[in-house]
A = this chain, B = another copy of it.
Amino acid sequence: MHLNDFQNLIKTIYLKKDSARGIHATFNWLVEEIGELTRAIRKGNREKIKEEFADCLAWLLSVGSILEIDAEDAMGKYTNGCPKCGKIPCECKEDGS
């Protein structure tokens, strides 16, 4: 499925509620899910890790939709390789320089 089809799916399910809640409160939900993914990783439950990963991705797409970001368009910065060094694979130093 295309990335934008996933973004549109999440929009169809949640955008009305997300928009009513607003960007800051919706961002808090994303951060909450990031925390849940962290916990799932610590506990090592593979099924839970997969669930929480999907929730993080769904909430991130929701945040993008509220901000009127087209996810595929935004990801265009990576289609020619690392945006910093321009290489595939990336040859940047670990400190990002």
Contacts and interface: CB of A to CB of B under 8 A. Distances in A.
Given A56-B60, A63-B53, A69-B49, A78 B34 contact: no
Interface in A70-86: 71-79, 81-82
A30 B23 contact: no
B53 A88 contact: no
- Interface residue tally of chain A, by bracket? 35 or more
Contacts of A94: 17, 21
- Closest 5 CB pairs between A and B? A54-B74, A3-B3, A50-B74, A53-B69, A13-B90
Interface of A: 1-3, 6, 9-10, 12-17, 21, 23, 27, 30-31, 34, 37-38, 41, 49-51, 53-54, 56-58, 60, 63-64, 67, 69, 71-79, 81-82, 87-90, 94
